[in-house]
Structure 1
Amino acid sequence: MLWLLTLALWLPGLGNLPLRDWDEGRVATVARSTTNLLPMKWQQAYLNKPPGLHAPIGQLIRSHGENETLVRLLPALLSSLAVPLIVLLRRALGGAHKNRKALLAGVVLMTLLPMARHGRLAMLDGTLVSCSLLLWWGWVRSREQPLRALAAGVAGSGVLLLKPPALLGLALIALIVGGRSSWPRWRGWITLVLGLLPGLAWHLWHWSVRGSDALLMWGGQGLARLTSSIGDGHGWWTPWVEVLEGGWPWLLLLPIGLRWAWGHRRQSAGRWELGLFIGSAALVLPLRTQLPWYSHLLWPPLALLCAEGLTQLLDSGAPHWVTRCWQALGFGLSLAGLGTLVIREPQLPGLSLLLAGFGLLLGGQVIRHPQPQRRRRGLGILVIAWSLALLALWHSRLWLWELNESWDPRPVAAQVRALPANASVWLQGPTRPSLGWYAGRNLQRYRKSESPETPFWLVSNKRMPGCLLNHDPVAGDWKLWRCQ
């Protein structure tokens, strides 16, 4: 039921905004070019990532047509599995009230804005989170039920077909946190290896076909991110900003959860929750290449710890400072939402702000009630209002805001598609993988020193000497020019 609620919350409005750069445009382009298990980008070998997600997306769009909803659908479905998987994991960790804490962990993870927002995108990170949770759950259960180790192995294959170097860190967390006493018995090791075979077999085959180039996704595009900045990476502060920006409203419960986990560190649940939190931070924080979605691995451990704090809040109504902060935040959000609706600014999500503020105001007030039943009702009010706020956000134009979203590539791309197949089309300015996806061709980066001698077409936001504007100009600064 919680998974169905997650789908109802995460799937609406998947296709109401164009594909985002970089990753969505690149993932869609590779998916279109990959017709077998060898990843391709246009007519060249793609050595950045395995085709674990690209290949099925490509099959889907070839069968049913190219549009944003279909490109994002499979990643969104796989990402949403993280919610039921965190429930299974928390149950497996045991302890008092394990079922209630598992349910609360799922609710927290389901309503975290970054989990829902990045999970809806055509990217690998949401699926990677689901694989990591399946791996840890299978490992926790493997000693008592050897067949569960097969799930851990299958999850390991999934990681190998998404971001191979991540398996080293995820497996190390399981080995260290669980300790020697949690390792599976010999039958568990056999089923674990059986689950890993598909991922290992693909990498061996890829190496046999492409030779040493196949190692790039392990080294230059994998482990090298620990030691150097690759591409348009952000600074070291990025994951900290993401947690402070996206952890609401549950982030205030994290100190309570950490205190609980430390106090129960000798028990399975406390040890695993602390270990997963520290281990995931150790995987994310040292990266020299930082992008907003790299912090995605932090959300499940954070949800587990916040569920412990939420359990204490529902049981005792304390600490009161949490609900007071929720009410103060709700008051501010409500004012912002009302102001946005009054000035009728269509670019701002006024309804979303108003719903979130109402939920925090009323829910925070009811959670402070001395009767436990009323406190649970207050949590229901907060969760429902916050979920409605997320649904309202999906129907605004602001649920995507990273990187190169300064202009919509679709109008210009439609003009490029209308050109003859042999037309020479160049791009001046920042590279836009999504522009190439919508245009249906690989646009070459324009440099004056490499200007072709024959007439060519140029996508640019500047007036180019010797170039004529296309007969049917599109709105916006970026236009298609014909140049001599």
Structure 2
Amino acid sequence: MTDAASQPQPSRSALWAAKILGLLARRAYPLLAILCVALWLPGILTLPALDRDESRFAQSSRQMLDSGNFVDIRFGNEPRYKKPAGIYWAQAATTAVAGHVENIEGDHSHIWTYRLPSLLGGIAALWLTVWIGSVFGAEVGLIGALLLGFTVLMTAEATIATTDAVLLASILGVMGVLMRVYCATRDDTAVPTRLVLWGWFSFAIAVLVKGPVVAGVAIATILVLLAWDWWDQRPRKQAVPAEGEAAAIAAVAAPRPLKELPRWLMRTKPHLGVPLVLAIAAPWAIAIWVESHGSFFRQSLGHDFAGKLVTGQESHGLPPGYNLLLSAVAFWPGILFVLPAIGLAITRSKEPAIRFLLAWAGGFWLVCELVPTKLPQYVLPAYPALAILAGLWLTSAKDEALPLWRRVLPYISSLQFLLGLAGLVAAPLILPRLYGAGMDMGLIAPAAAAGLAGLVALVMALRRARWMAMAFGLVALAIIVPTLTVGTAPRLTQLWVSERLAAQVARHENPNDPPPAIAGFQEPSLVFALGADVNLTDGPGAAKQGADQGGLALVDDFERPAFLAHLAELQSDAVPVDELSGFNYSRGKKVHVTIYRMRKLTFDAPPAHGATGVP
């Protein structure tokens, strides 16, 4: 019999950490909201509109708001039939409300107003992580939410005007209910109908935000759980008793009938949930079918979604393992605790809640690795499950007698953490030299502070001081995020080509000018900066607009020869008034754009000559 006094006692720092965490857990929701706003809002307010998805979403929401048509989705003069209308409605709503509050009604050109749904969605995602993790205790839920919210990927997605933060919140509403239904079935307890309906409501919102992605997360989890439960309940030979007939045949454990395995799925009440989903999502689906004559579904499901499952779309085809490698940065600093947490979870996988989290994270991660098209945010729905497991590991008792494979895991996580730390600390020191006016000495101190905090976190983790490791890891992230978003990003002037071009156009345009003609550099951020009426064309098209209407033309070096040749054919005139050079990060290429003042061709007098480059 083991004496209680011989058991390892928690250290004084661990006891203090537990007390503080217990106090914070009682105010988890307002605490997380305050921390999120403090961490994410500076980037929301300072970062220029990004290419390409953010500017496409924001511009389409802007056109929806300007036109009053909340069914059709357009970018410029072209339909944008890739994602449902949910995120556009949210961005249009926050822009309208922000315009009223800030007294800028009618001015829908501020990118930060389109980012507010991501901020709210990110906060909601963290709140739901607290709720899901609370099955292990309020402290685990809070730690999971902190580790999720203070990751590089979650911070990025909560800062920009795309779907992923809002989608994550709605997916968590679904997965939290599904987890409770699964655990309640295993424990033979009841689940309130209103909770189940909340899950179906969240499913409908997720469908309106990003179509069938939520179904992919749920189905991957369910399939892993069904296979895992079936494996546990398969027939097994039992040992023959020592006493008994020598020729006795080993008894076989009777498996649970296969038809009963998915019994818990029926407790999700699909007879109530499916009609609710249809009632919420079907009206817009019918309206867009009529508006687009079915084109929306052919393009969004048949081309965009199905294409990503089969081939690597938009130059994002990457091999399996990409998400695992990228997690060193994307899940930083929480990556320091993920592998040890998975090791603990595997040893306790008989527990329904832990098994569900493993199936959720593992099943969907595997899908993301197998799908040819890979982007960092695709795997984000798996992060909350990993963060909660990390919270469970951080609050669990230290086990001195670990098998070798579990003793190795912290060292692998430490290596991942160190790689991510090196990249994040180097970014504010190197990027301004590559894409700005040179390194800013003012960025050295915060970068060094973040690096020091990260190294302390790493040392504490290796010394098994878990709470100190988590605290210093979060501090490091809290330093590096504003250093990158507020300190570094505005200095990367070579990257913000659209913002600089818009400022030059504002200086040179006349009140009666037609919308500028843009030939060559046609990134969505430039459309957002100049408005949907710009003429996206080629060199000859820009020359023709100048001959017909005058105004400004923005022509890059690739289109410039054709532009000048067509001007000569038309016997028209264009005078270069400005130029700029930069780096198109969407294409990974340098770009040089010349702004021309074009003179409308008249037949009363011979045209002037001399369409030349900038002297």
TM-score where L is the length of structure 2: 0.67
Structure of larger gyration radius: 2
Q: Does 1:214 align with 2:296?
A: yes
- Shift in Å, 1:441: 3.0
| Residue correspondence of structure 1 range 464-483 to structure 2 within 5 A | 465=564, 468-471=574-577, 477-483=592-598
Q: Select the residue among 498, 502, 514 that pairs with 1:409.
A: 498
Equivalent residue letter for 2:287: W
Distance in 1, matches of 2:122 and 2:392, equals 23
Equivalent residue letter for 1:156: F
Q: Does 1:144 align with 2:191?
A: yes
Give CA deviations for 1:153-196 in whole Å, capped at 9, x if unaligned. Answer: 12111121121121331231353355524335376741564255
Q: Is the 8 A contact 2:151 2:477 kept in 1?
A: no
Distance in 2, matches of 1:234 and 1:347, equals 38
Q: How many equivalent pairs are there?
A: 473
Equivalent residue letter for 2:495: S
Q: Note closer, same or farther for the CA distance 1:332–1:296 as it changes in structure 2 (3 Å cut).
A: closer
Q: Note closer, same or farther for the CA distance 1:254–1:8 as it changes in structure 2 (3 Å cut).
A: same
Q: Note closer, same or farther for the CA distance 1:405–1:285 as it changes in structure 2 (3 Å cut).
A: farther
| Worse overlay, 217-226 or 236-245 | 236-245
**Map of 2:470 onto structure 1:** 379
Give CA deviations for 1:346-368 in whole Å, capped at 9, x if unaligned. Answer: 29953443232222333445567
Equivalent residue letter for 1:88: W
Q: Select the residue among 192, 202, 205 that pairs with 2:284.
A: 202
| Residue correspondence of structure 1 range 315-326 to structure 2 within 5 A | 321=411
**Map of 2:313 onto structure 1:** 230
Q: Select the residue among 388, 396, 407 that pairs with 2:479.
A: 388
Distance in 2, matches of 1:348 and 1:232, equals 36
Identical pairs, percent = 19
- Shift in Å, 1:240: 3.7
Unaligned runs of 5+ in 1: none
Q: Is the 8 A contact 2:458 2:469 kept in 1?
A: yes
Q: Note closer, same or farther for the CA distance 1:118–1:350 as it changes in structure 2 (3 Å cut).
A: farther
Q: Does 1:173 align with 2:226?
A: no
Distance in 1, matches of 2:390 and 2:268, equals 36
Give CA deviations for 1:56-88 in whole Å, capped at 9, x if unaligned. Answer: 322333450431221212222112321121121
Q: Does 1:57 align with 2:91?
A: yes
- Shift in Å, 1:271: 1.1
SS of residue matched to 2:209: coil
- RMSD (CA atoms): 3.8
Distance in 2, matches of 1:482 and 1:336, equals 42
Q: Is the 8 A contact 1:119 1:126 kept in 2?
A: yes
Unaligned runs of 5+ in 2: 1-30, 100-106, 182-189, 227-261, 568-572, 583-591, 599-610
Q: Is the 8 A contact 2:61 2:91 kept in 1?
A: yes
**Map of 1:362 onto structure 2:** 456
Distance in 1, matches of 2:466 and 2:176, equals 31
Distance in 1, matches of 2:424 and 2:347, equals 37
SS of residue matched to 1:290: coil
Equivalent residue letter for 1:458: A
Q: Select the residue among 108, 123, 133 that pairs with 2:172.
A: 133
Q: Does 1:79 align with 2:122?
A: yes
**Map of 1:88 onto structure 2:** 131
Q: Is the 8 A contact 1:26 1:434 kept in 2?
A: yes
SS of residue matched to 1:218: helix
Q: Note closer, same or farther for the CA distance 1:339–1:178 as it changes in structure 2 (3 Å cut).
A: closer
Q: Is the 8 A contact 1:139 1:174 kept in 2?
A: no
Distance in 1, matches of 2:417 and 2:117, equals 37
Distance in 1, matches of 2:419 and 2:394, equals 18
Equivalent residue letter for 1:30: S
| Residue correspondence of structure 1 range 306-455 to structure 2 within 5 A | 306-312=390-396, 321=411, 345-346=439-440, 349-365=443-459, 376-377=467-468, 379-398=470-489, 406-416=495-505, 418-419=509-510, 423=514, 425-448=516-539, 452-455=543-546
Q: Select the residue among 79, 93, 99 that pairs with 1:45.
A: 79
Distance in 2, matches of 1:306 and 1:226, equals 30
Q: Does 1:70 align with 2:113?
A: yes
- Shift in Å, 1:277: 1.4
- Shift in Å, 1:269: 2.3
Q: Select the residue among 303, 327, 330 that pairs with 2:387.
A: 303
